[in-house]
Structure 1
Amino acid sequence: MKGNYYILILIFASMAFAFCGETADVPEETIEQKTPNIVFIISDDQAWTDYGFMGHKQLKTPNIDKLANEGLTFVQSYVPTSLCAPSLASIVTGVYPRRHQVLGNDRMLPTDKPKDKADRRKIRAERYRPVIDHFKQLNTLPEMLKDKGYLSFQTGKWWLGNYANGGFDRGMTHGDPARGGRHGDYGLEIGRNGMDTLFNYIDYALEEEKPFFVWYAPYLPHRPHNPPDSLFQKYLPLAPSEYVAKYWAMCEWFDNTCGELIDYLDEKGQNENTLYVYVCDNGWVQEENAAGYTKNSKRSPYDYGMRTPIIYKWSGHIEPGYNSRSLASSLDIVPTVLSLLGMERPEGLDGINVLDKLALEKRETLYGEIYAHDFTTVDNSLFYQMAITSPYKIIVPNKANKPNETVQLYDIIKDPFEQKDLAADKPEIVEQLINKIEASWNQ
């Protein structure tokens, strides 16, 4: 283990990069000879601090810690929005929500007045249909991988109807509103109710002698927080409340399922030729005395909602290390995977290949955008725009939807938990970053 505490990670990271650099070059002949399996592991509602390797003193995540230690791990990294449906859509397409149009979890018009939950589901399905139709026209990673002969399988969270809408060959989510399809349906059973369906698909792909892409996005540690009792009892004396103990137990439960997946691939002799990518869709900070989340986490513009470690591991092809300096994004995942496979980058992607040292060094700014949970259009549903640099992060509220809020500015290097607003003290930085946001949106 390279460090049990976050501050130690930063020290080790700076030492490591002083000697070996931030990324590894991938020889062309290696790309031609190897076609790795690809496994995306996507956590659901977990704060960037809530891992052993990120310095959490009580929470145990040994399997993700091991992945982080053996992979190239970015710790100053973000998703472009802090809600699951748009975040997941960005992971699989490599573009901002304003481009893929999945702005929130549910699409409802101001005139919609559902009578009850059943009526709301019916209206939601009708309103969401154009969003799905638009999404089906986009270029997703599973669709791109077909050119390399990949089979693909979806499990867990998936908001865009049937798995086939994302280009997957097979999957667990049927997406039929009449049968309760909304955000994963049958797919949400993976992890919580065992791993057999996923393991069976891996066996199938191996029998077909085809490389495979797996989307493992379980409903973990997401609510309901109903962990195995043994894990709950483990954390109960360590946590400040029963609610926090349950959340911590859910995080370890998720980690256990990751270990099962990695161990299964190892048993099948596939670990050395599997590219693992780890990311969380959005953050979560557990309320101490209630079952919900704090206002500065999920659905918020703060780092507790948007920041996540991002890990890339492919043994012998990506040099391990902790990168605590470079800004990274979930939007980078698609172009990075394509680069590793020697595939051409399509037009319109918003991220970079993080294995390209020059591109990583040239990056100055990441952007974020947050919309209403029940959205209509970009213009009508926009809540916040963000620009993230080193060291500053700006949060710009949309005046139409957040009339009582003002621009906020934080030094996220000195103040990673965003406690001191510097907007009044640094008007020139505020102006500069607002101009960057406007330029980004006009591209």
Structure 2
Amino acid sequence: MAHRLRLFLSVVLFSALFVPFSSAAPPNIVLLLSDDMAWTDYGFMGHPDIQTPNLDKLASESAVFPRGYVPTGLCRPSLATLLTGHYASTHGVTGNDPSPKYAPRDSELFNQRRAQLISYLDRFETVPEALGKLGYLSHQSGKLWEGSYQNAGFTHGMTRGFPQPGGRHGDDGLKIGRSGIEPINEFLDLAVAEDKPFYLWYAPFMPHTPHTPPQRLLDKYRDGRPITIAKYYAMCEWFDETCGQLMESLEKRGLDDNTMIVYLTDNGWIQNPDKNGYAPRSKQTPYEGGVRTPIFYWMPGKIKAGTRPELVSSIDIYPTMLAAAGAPLPDDRPGLNLLPQLTSGDAIPRDTLFGEGFAHDIADIEDPEATLLYRWCIEGKWKLLLTYDGEVNRYQSTHPRTEKGPQLFDLIADPAENNNLAKEHPDVVARLAEKINNWYPVKRAQTITTPSP
């Protein structure tokens, strides 16, 4: 009898501390999304100089995945993946713009192609559309390429989008963060007044160029650093400050008790010390500097906090958010619903991540392979890049394909990816290449065949 009583009390105590999602009101969901930020550039990731106290606090209470990735190291395809839950080769938005080589900018044909790219979103149910069926309100601020906020399925937002004048990658939405967060506060007040759950897309144009931080933050990082580095560091902290403002807004309204927060960056960044831009093997590439990002999930009392060793991808965020809200999960999404592992602490059943890279400008908006540059996968410590001769563009000089064959890296021993081990381990290359082919078969041949030992 005493044993049964102790067991009963243990269950009651566990339930009080760790309420499952299914027994609570639908949670609010917040996506915190930085823009052009290196995976190393946070206090909680061990950066010795950049200070991110607000994100550090959230991370300390979150399930943190230092080995997080986006499948494509470029903002528009990466954001479209977050909206749709699909890889770029499936949702069709592989680059940022139609190539001006084949249709001059602002020509009728160029604008027709812009409109066609945006229309690809109509083929999928976006996160805010799926949540809207459950009564969620939703708000978009910051970066958005796929037309207006309404076109992406949000009930409220800031971006007017193409074909409105200046509509491209966020327009009015790009003011968020840099000019305060009042539009978000107004939306939160509306959600409270209507007593409805909400989905918040906070994707400020930060620390993205132009690097124009407040002077007080720039002065903080000037000591002994190139001005380009100091500005970038200051931008990272400025972004963190805005995340703190958002958390204060949630707490002030009593909304933090039933809110899930997901954090990541849209693609990586390595600041070039010599100019206001990014270094090679950074943004637009499949190297760690282009596709790696910490990803964390925050919801104290429901998501178990701790640093996790597993591989995760932004492709998982769509099904995980829907599961948290109690929405049905589509069968065709390739990502994993991580909610069971986030709440239990169990290991995630995955051994391989996949990704792809395309040129910034899209040569053929109906044929992703026309600008295919890379396919890649990560399995344990191994990372394999396969290189393709898709058409490059005006940005080629910023990320030249210096090695045009299989590239195999041991990410544990060589996280900077300096040593290509493909010739030493042809068996690993062959095995991982087969996995890539099974994931995303293509007609285009590799630029160089698998090397011999």
1:51-88 alpha-carbon deviations (Å, 9 max, x no partner) = 00000000000001111111111111100010000001
1:221 and 1:154 map into 2 onto residues whose CA distance is 18
Helix, strand or coil for the counterpart of 2:423? Answer: coil
Residue 421 (structure 1) aligns with: 420
2:351 and 2:82 map into 1 onto residues whose CA distance is 21
Tell me if structure 2 keeps the 8 A contact 1:328–1:354.
Answer: no
1:334 and 2:318 aligned:
yes
2:388 and 2:24 map into 1 onto residues whose CA distance is 50
Residue 153 (structure 2) aligns with: 167
Match of 1:221 among 176, 184, 207: 207
Tell me if structure 1 keeps the 8 A contact 2:100–2:110.
Answer: no
Helix, strand or coil for the counterpart of 1:299? Answer: coil
1:224-270 alpha-carbon deviations (Å, 9 max, x no partner) = 001000000000005x3110000000000000000000011101111
Helix, strand or coil for the counterpart of 2:432? Answer: helix
Residue 446 (structure 2) aligns with: none
Residues 382 and 359 of structure 1: CA distance in aligned 2, closer, same or farther (over 3 Å):
farther
Counterparts of 1:294-373 in structure 2, within 5 Å, are 294-323=279-308, 325-357=309-341, 361-373=348-360
Counterparts of 1:422-441 in structure 2, within 5 Å, are 422-441=421-440
Helix, strand or coil for the counterpart of 1:316? Answer: coil
Residue 84 (structure 1) aligns with: 75
Residues 267 and 399 of structure 1: CA distance in aligned 2, closer, same or farther (over 3 Å):
same
1:12-62 alpha-carbon deviations (Å, 9 max, x no partner) = xxxxxxxxxxxx9x9886423221111100000000000000000000000
Residues 113 and 340 of structure 1: CA distance in aligned 2, closer, same or farther (over 3 Å):
closer
Tell me if structure 1 keeps the 8 A contact 2:18–2:301.
Answer: no
Helix, strand or coil for the counterpart of 1:81? Answer: coil
Helix, strand or coil for the counterpart of 1:166? Answer: coil
Counterparts of 1:257-268 in structure 2, within 5 Å, are 257-268=242-253
Helix, strand or coil for the counterpart of 1:387? Answer: strand
Match of 1:143 among 125, 129, 147: 129
Residue 90 (structure 2) aligns with: 99
1:276 and 1:404 map into 2 onto residues whose CA distance is 39
Counterparts of 1:32-71 in structure 2, within 5 Å, are 32-71=23-62
2:252 and 2:361 map into 1 onto residues whose CA distance is 44
1:141-160 alpha-carbon deviations (Å, 9 max, x no partner) = 10110122100010000000
Tell me if structure 2 keeps the 8 A contact 1:108–1:123.
Answer: no
Tell me if structure 1 keeps the 8 A contact 2:93–2:117.
Answer: yes
- TM-score scaled by structure 1? 0.89
Tell me if structure 1 keeps the 8 A contact 2:281–2:287.
Answer: yes
1:303-326 alpha-carbon deviations (Å, 9 max, x no partner) = 111000111111211111110x21
Helix, strand or coil for the counterpart of 2:296? Answer: strand
Counterparts of 1:392-403 in structure 2, within 5 Å, are 392-401=382-391
Moved more, 175-184 or 185-194: 175-184
Give the drift of 1:404: 6.4
Residue 268 (structure 2) aligns with: 283
Helix, strand or coil for the counterpart of 2:151? Answer: helix
1:113-159 alpha-carbon deviations (Å, 9 max, x no partner) = 44xxxx36x65432111111121221111011012210001000000
Tell me if structure 1 keeps the 8 A contact 2:371–2:390.
Answer: no
1:267 and 1:72 map into 2 onto residues whose CA distance is 24
Q: Structure 2: any 5+ residue segments left out of the alignment? A: 1-14, 392-400, 443-453
1:167-195 alpha-carbon deviations (Å, 9 max, x no partner) = 11111000133410000000000001111
Tell me if structure 2 keeps the 8 A contact 1:162–1:174.
Answer: yes
1:328 and 1:284 map into 2 onto residues whose CA distance is 19
Residues 348 and 143 of structure 1: CA distance in aligned 2, closer, same or farther (over 3 Å):
same
Residue 396 (structure 2) aligns with: none
Helix, strand or coil for the counterpart of 1:265? Answer: helix
Question: Percent of counterpart pairs with the same letter?
Answer: 43
Residue 14 (structure 1) aligns with: none
1:260-315 alpha-carbon deviations (Å, 9 max, x no partner) = 00011101111111111101000001011111100111001101110001111112
- TM-score scaled by structure 2? 0.87
Tell me if structure 1 keeps the 8 A contact 2:381–2:411.
Answer: yes
Residues 87 and 157 of structure 1: CA distance in aligned 2, closer, same or farther (over 3 Å):
same
Residue 5 (structure 2) aligns with: none
Helix, strand or coil for the counterpart of 1:277? Answer: strand
Match of 2:197 among 211, 221, 226: 211
Match of 2:180 among 194, 203, 206: 194
Residue 292 (structure 1) aligns with: 277
Number of aligned residue pairs: give it.
Answer: 412
Tell me if structure 2 keeps the 8 A contact 1:108–1:127.
Answer: no
Paired amino acid for 2:112: E
Paired amino acid for 1:427: P
Residues 203 and 413 of structure 1: CA distance in aligned 2, closer, same or farther (over 3 Å):
same
Tell me if structure 1 keeps the 8 A contact 2:34–2:204.
Answer: yes
Tell me if structure 2 keeps the 8 A contact 1:78–1:330.
Answer: yes
1:389 and 2:379 aligned:
yes
Give the drift of 1:362: 2.9
Residue 380 (structure 1) aligns with: 370
Root-mean-square deviation over aligned CA pairs: 2.0
